[in-house]
Structure 1
């Protein structure tokens, strides 16, 4: 049986201190503590729906707002994803999902191309969910895409509840990544005509 694809990232700045561990071949186990309750909830969903084992411990300047913590956790998740997937030999590479969540429908498509790009067409009908700024959902996924070298497209088809929209984004990204990192036994080498990703 192949070794689990794992990574541990530690990032400490003047604004945050983040420790994150990721196992791409897990079962959805998670221990999340970021100081931002809504972000914790979204990361728990991400782990469970991707079947990723995820541990996140973060402290930050949450007395200001959740921006720096959210962005830096996203950076760490992206770095962990890049490290854990390795040279990408044998993986599916692409993933996509149309994810319904009550009133919301979000379409996610992604490519572990090594070339970071976020295309974001998700408008939130409210500025906050609880005390969490909904604009930070985009900041999180921008950070993940940049750090992982991920081409990520998120499109809101429709939705009226900001919580449901955010949840659909995180679940859609998780399910799409779950597909993209899957090892295809028929795939020999890197899934690219260039021979490298």
Structure 2
């Protein structure tokens, strides 16, 4: 069964359209279009390392700042992931982790796709912004994604001096961890026999 889902999220600030294929079987391309260049780059990086097909369009209805673009995209993408996993009957490997270097930076990411949302993100970024994206919105993106997708997420910076390297290593590691965690399995990986959907 294809795990491809389309989601549209509309608020008074943004309209977000997400088309995600967790297996990249029907949708093989990756394209992200927001008003924030570094956010585009990071979400494209995430999708590439996760092995997804992904199309994203974000339209700003009311221009405020990059916060709503990042948050609403994360919520819509998380919702799409949750629906795609449900379409596959919650038969996923569940756990995934990666430790990714990028030059001097080294970041660890661990995922439990359990239906129990929570995110602990340690990204001590010092620059105010990177490519139009406020650095405070990078951990917020990950926290919002975890909440909407229904997963437990840990992100830990082990070392790093260059904020661009740290952020990119984090998104690469997140993609790799999600590729493992969302890989299809023969059954539901839980002693309870069920993975509950995230609470809306």
Q: TM-score, normalised by structure 2?
A: 0.91
Note if contact 1:62-1:69 (Cα within 8 Å) is conserved in structure 2.
Answer: no
Question: C-alpha displacement at 1:132, in angstroms?
Answer: 1.6
SS at match of 2:68: helix
Q: Output the CA distance in 2 between the equivalents of 1:177 and 1:78.
A: 12
Unpaired stretches in structure 1, ≥5 consecutive residues: none
The answer for the alignment partner of 2:52 in structure 1 is 52
For residues 121-132 of structure 1, the aligned pairs below 5 Å read 121-132=122-133
Q: Which moved more, 1:60-69 or 1:149-158?
A: 60-69
Note if contact 1:82-1:147 (Cα within 8 Å) is conserved in structure 2.
Answer: yes
The answer for the alignment partner of 2:83 in structure 1 is 83
For residues 91-130 of structure 1, the aligned pairs below 5 Å read 91-130=92-131
2:6 aligned with 1:8: yes
Note if contact 1:29-1:47 (Cα within 8 Å) is conserved in structure 2.
Answer: no
Count the aligned residue pairs. 191
Cα RMSD, aligned residues only: 1.4
Q: TM-score, normalised by structure 1?
A: 0.93
Q: Which moved more, 1:150-159 or 1:123-132?
A: 123-132
Deviation beyond 2 Å, 4+ runs, structure 1: 61-64
SS at match of 1:195: coil
2:194 aligned with 1:196: yes
For residues 150-161 of structure 1, the aligned pairs below 5 Å read 150-161=151-162
Question: C-alpha displacement at 1:131, in angstroms?
Answer: 2.4
Unpaired stretches in structure 2, ≥5 consecutive residues: 196-200
In the TM superposition, what whole-angstrom CA distance separates every residue of 1:78-113 from its partner, at most 9, and x where no partner exists?
001101111312x21000000111111000001001
